[in-house]
Structure 1
Amino acid sequence: MSAQAVGVAAWQALSNLGDNAAAMRAALQSDANHFSLNHTWLTAGRPTWLGQIQAALPEIPHELSDVASRNVAVALALVEAMRADLQQTIAGIPAQRLGIVIGTSTSGLSANEAALFAHTRGEDSSAELVYSRQQMNATSVALQRYLGWRGPCFTVSTACSSAAKAILAGQRLLQADVCDVVLVGGIDTLCSLTFNGFDCLESLSSERCRPFAADRDGINIGEAGALLLLHRQQENVNLCGGGESADAWHISAPHPQGTGAAQAMQRALSNSGLQAADIDYVNLHGTATPQNDAMEALAVRQVFGTHRPWLSSTKHHTGHCLGAAGAIEAAIACAILEDAATWLPWQQGFAATDSAFADLRFVRPDSEFTGRIKRIMSNSFAFAGSNASLIFESKHA
């Protein structure tokens, strides 16, 4: 384990793929469609494929009503699922040394949308508009109040890199000796603003998204939440470090040469004391838009050169979970690295890969692995060139 690495004492994820590692693994090693077709989210009434959490969510306590939202309900479900590990990890640690950093892009905005829509139409509505529910820090504040922690508590909101940056912020709190344990991750739930915003950008696919495919035409939106409990002790899975960049190329389009993406990946390697050849697998950002996939392929070639790590995008299963994307994909990395068996998520096989990417080593159903997967890089690239790349490693590395 590198000198700056921190241990993942526990993790929990919730998405359209289920709420446990076994369900996640089964989904990621198939071409099964885990999306549902919805006819209500787009204002024009057109159908759209989405990744929706199907699990029942807990009721939010009355004392958290001022911050209540689906985001918070997902957060509470995650915390309760990891309650035993959480209590064991924080035993004897003062509340002031327990931190929380959450990434999100829309927070609890969906909790106010019914009231906002009624207002703009001049209609009376029984829906209550409570602004505090959509404040960016609502979920992190809700978790702090629910758990009774008293350490640093804040939110990172940098669009689709939010959760990855929140995870790195938690690592820095540990390295700076500000905290002894930090709960990190990201949560984003379905919201009309994001659906119709991406529709205005003409970024939504009318079908199931196809990352790196010849006929890729856009994203599907999903919702998810994942939390990781970080501390300084070595664990079965450890966060080596990460890299960030901000190329500010364009408000919504990625740098066409992948400059910022390559910088984030290279900095992740440097900050972790690793070389490109040390990475076994890269969970690509892989949104399935023509520009994003093309630039990420260029960035991978720049960083890895002749080394060919295994590659795949998992967004054809989860959808693009926006501010939670980096968290659900970090959870996927943890699931792979802690498993005694060697497996990786398949690159989608229901559409032909773009011939422009023929040199890249995508994971296929018949891929054969030599030994364990020891180190994984996970990429998250956002609007305005706000990029982050994480590296996780197994204790067997």
Structure 2
Amino acid sequence: MNVDIIDYESCTAAGINMSSLREALQQQQSGLIKNNLPYSELDTWIGSVPDIDKVTDLKEWQSRNNALAALGLEQGTLRQTLTKLINQYGSARIGLVMGSSTSSIDRTETAYTDLDDTGVLKPKYQQKQVHNPHAPSLFVSHYTGIEGPALTINTACSSSAKVFATAARWLEFGIVDAVLVGGVDTLCLSVLHGFNSLQLLSSNPCKPFDQHRDGINLGEASGFAILQRGGESSNSKGIRLAGYGESSDAYHMSHPHPEGLGARMSMTQALKRGNLNPSDIDYINLHGTSSRANDLIEGQLISDLFPKTTVCSSTKAWMGHTLGAAGITEAIIAMDSLLTGFIPGSMNLDSLDHALDFSIQAQSSSKECKHVMTNSFGFGGNNCTLLFSKVS
């Protein structure tokens, strides 16, 4: 593959941008807090981004989800990089692929609690481009001025990992000259109480892969990356999308295949596409949700496919499981290790699940990485694995 990553930023409860996220990871500072979502008394922990509430000037586009997307786009040099690309290629030659599992359902929730006296939506909530599964891409196109093809992917927790695969195909076939990929999901009652109905939430800070893990914590995030064909950028970060794998085993609506067939397929596809062996991978950012079934199956697959020299960790204890934004959040953490040499550990891991035996680390470490991987496994068996390599 010949696709370069030329810019990226992450906005989570652990850090509003890459600089603060790096600091939180290095200082072992989690962004999780006890649930304080209005009208919710669930005993759990959440990864909330308080700065979202400052974004109130989106007018007909206003929603918590769009506010978090806007907040993320204002971090780092994303806007400057996009402006240069638009000036270079024209706005119609820049593509956009967004991942989200809830879009702006937060705004729809609010609208239905604030109907007028006749039971009709008030004018401020009559937002057809917000109450819309495609809302993330509609808004980001509007916000950035991108006029090329735009797509919103909703494959649950793998949504914003799959954006990289779609962007790579668009670039390969010359559909566009650069692609902004992203993911955004925000906390709301539907999300929090929906996962509670599945008996997946923990009343404790999550402990991925730990023997005593008892469920997940939810969070919210936005993340963005800009992709371009290899060799065409003068400001490449020296990171290449080396491969990707996608699968959909459709075993069950919410439970992974007991043998992890779809997850195995996505990992082996990514390795094959990247022309890499398992022993070539220096670090894997695991899906690692802290649920009993998901962690067990993923851990067994890693043990089966990769040598003990491959360092692994889950980073969800910093910001929670950010659903449709989890894929890009963890892809960014993985690719950033190629530049910094910093590999975050698995916060809260005290005792590895007795049924597992692989090289997952509780403490952070430093290592020069050449090839890294990240897994994102979603409901319905929608799986995606991404490989990133350092360009020599």
Taking structure 2 as the reference length, the TM-score comes to: 0.91
Return the match for 2:229 from 229, 232, 235: 232
- 1:134 is paired with a residue whose SS is coil
State the match for 1:188 in structure 2. Answer: 185
Distance of aligned partners of 1:282 and 1:14 in 2 relative to their CA distance in 1, 3 Å threshold? same
| Counterpart amino acid of residue 96 in structure 1 | A
Q: Which amino acid in the other structure matches residue 265 of structure 2?
A: Q
2:112 alignment partner in structure 1? 116
Percent identical across equivalent pairs?
Answer: 36
Q: 1:31, 1:349 within 8 Å by CA — same for their partners in 2?
A: no
Contact conserved, 1:262 with 1:302, CA < 8 A, in 2? Answer: no
Cross-structure match for 2:149: 152
State the match for 1:317 in structure 2: 318
Q: How many residues align?
A: 383
Q: Give the AA of the match of 2:11.
A: L
How large is the RMSD of aligned CA atoms in angstroms? 2.3
The alpha-carbon distance between structure 1 residues 91 and 202, as it changes in their structure 2 partners (threshold 3 A), is same
Q: Closer, same or farther in 2 for the Cα pair 1:54/1:5, shift >3 Å?
A: farther
Alignment correspondent of 2:74 = 80
Q: Classify 1:29/1:354 alpha carbon distance in 2 versus 1 (closer, same or farther; 3 Å).
A: farther
Structure 1: which amino acid aligns with 2:377? F
The 5 Å alignment of 1:66-145 reads: 67-81=61-75, 82-117=78-113, 128-145=125-142
TM-score, normalisation: structure 1: 0.90
Shift of 1:117: 3.6
Provide Cα deviations, 1:7-51, integer angstroms capped at 9, x if missing partner.
Answer: 1111111001112333212322344332111244575x2332100
Structure 1 counterpart of 2:257: 255
Given that 1:111 and 1:134 are in contact with CA atoms closer than 8 Å, whether structure 2 keeps it comes out as: yes
Correspondence 1:344 to 2:335: no
**How far apart are the structure 2 equivalents of 1:347 and 1:273?**
28
Superposed CA deviations along residues 264-291 of structure 1, whole A, max 9, x for unmatched, are 0000111111111111011000000000
| C-alpha contact (below 8 Å) 1:268/1:390 kept by paired residues | yes
Match of 2:201 in 1: 204
Stretch deviating more after TM superposition (77-86 or 210-219): 77-86
* CA distance 1:90–1:129, change in 2 (3 Å): closer
Question: Equivalent residue of 1:274, what SS?
Answer: coil
After TM superposition, which residue ranges in structure 1, 4 or more long, deviate above 6 angstroms? 120-127
| Structure 1 spans left out of the alignment, 5+ residues | none
**In the alignment, does 2:216 pair up with 1:214?**
no
Pair 1:42–1:162, CA change in 2 (3 A): farther
For 1:137 and 1:362, locate their aligned partners in 2 and report how far apart those are by CA, in whole Å.
37
Distance 2:180 2:110 in 1: 31
- Report the secondary structure of 2:287's partner residue: coil
Change (3 A) 1:112 1:264: same
- Please give the residue correspondences for 1:274-313 in structure 2 after superposition, counting only pairs within 5 Å: 274-304=276-306, 306=307, 308-313=309-314
Query: Aligned pair in 2 of structure 1 residues 367, 231: CA closer, same or farther (>3 Å)?
Result: closer
2:2 maps to 1:5: yes
Q: Distance in 2 between matches of 1:299 and 1:121?
A: 56
CA distance in 2, matches of 1:73, 1:324: 14
What SS does the corresponding residue of 2:130 show, helix, strand or coil? Answer: helix
Tell me the distance in 1 between the aligned counterparts of 2:18 and 2:140. 23
* Residues 1:210 and 1:272: Cα distance change in structure 2 (over 3 Å): same
Query: 1:373, 1:167 → 2: CA distance?
Result: 20
The reply on whether 1:392 has 2:376 as its aligned counterpart is: no
SS at match of 2:209: coil
SS at match of 2:342: coil
Q: Which secondary structure state, in structure 2, belongs to the residue aligned with residue 196 of structure 1?
A: helix
- What is the alpha-carbon distance in structure 1 between the residues aligned to residue 32 and residue 215 of structure 2? 15
Q: Residue 104 of structure 2 contacts residue 135 of structure 2 at CA under 8 Å; is this kept in 1?
A: yes
> Per-residue deviation at 1:337?
1.5
Secondary structure of the structure 1 residue equivalent to 2:74: helix
Match of 1:32 among 26, 29, 32: 29
Which one-letter code corresponds to 2:242 in the other structure? C
User: How far off is 1:367 after superposition?
Assistant: 4.8
Aligned residue for 1:91, secondary structure, equals helix
C-alpha distance in 2 between matches for 1:347 and 1:146: 36
> Structure 2 CA distance, aligned partners of 1:347 and 1:108?
31
Q: Could you tell which deviates more after superposition, 315-324 or 295-304?
A: 295-304
Distance 2:94 2:120 in 1: 44
Change in Cα spacing, 1:204 to 1:349, as seen in structure 2 (3 Å) is closer
Other structure's SS at 2:148 match: coil
CA shift digits 1:245-277 (9 cap, x unpaired): 111111100011111111100001111111111
Gaps of 5+ in 2: none
Contact 1:7 1:239 in 2 (8 A): yes
AA aligned opposite 2:270: A
| Higher deviation after alignment, 105-114 or 228-237 | 228-237
Provide the C-alpha distance between the structure 1 equivalents of 2:117 and 2:292, rounded to a whole number of angstroms: 37
1:39 and 1:307 mapped to 2: Cα distance?
A: 40
Q: Distance in 2 between matches of 1:141 and 1:115?
A: 20
> Partner amino acid for 1:77?
L
Tell me if the contact between 1:209 and 1:220 (Cα under 8 Å) persists in the aligned partners.
Answer: yes
SS in 1 for 2:359: coil
- State the 1:349 CA deviation: 3.9
Do the aligned partners of 1:344 and 1:363 also contact (CA within 8 Å) in 2?
A: no
Find the counterpart in structure 1 of residue 360 from structure 2. Answer: 362
Structure 2 Cα separation of the partners of residues 150 and 264 of structure 1: 31
Within a 5 Å distance, the mapping from 1:39-58 to structure 2 comes to 39-40=36-37, 43=40, 45-55=41-51, 57-58=54-55
- C-alpha distance in 1, partners of 2:283/2:117? 50
The CA distance in 2 between the partners of 1:274 and 1:212, in whole Å, is: 26
Question: Is contact 1:39-1:47 (8 Å) kept?
Answer: no
* Cα distance in 2 between the residues matched to 1:272 and 1:325: 22
**More moved, 46-55 vs 160-169:** 46-55
Matches within 5 A, 1:258-269: 258-269=260-271
Indicate conservation of the 8 Å contact 2:99/2:152, yes or no: yes
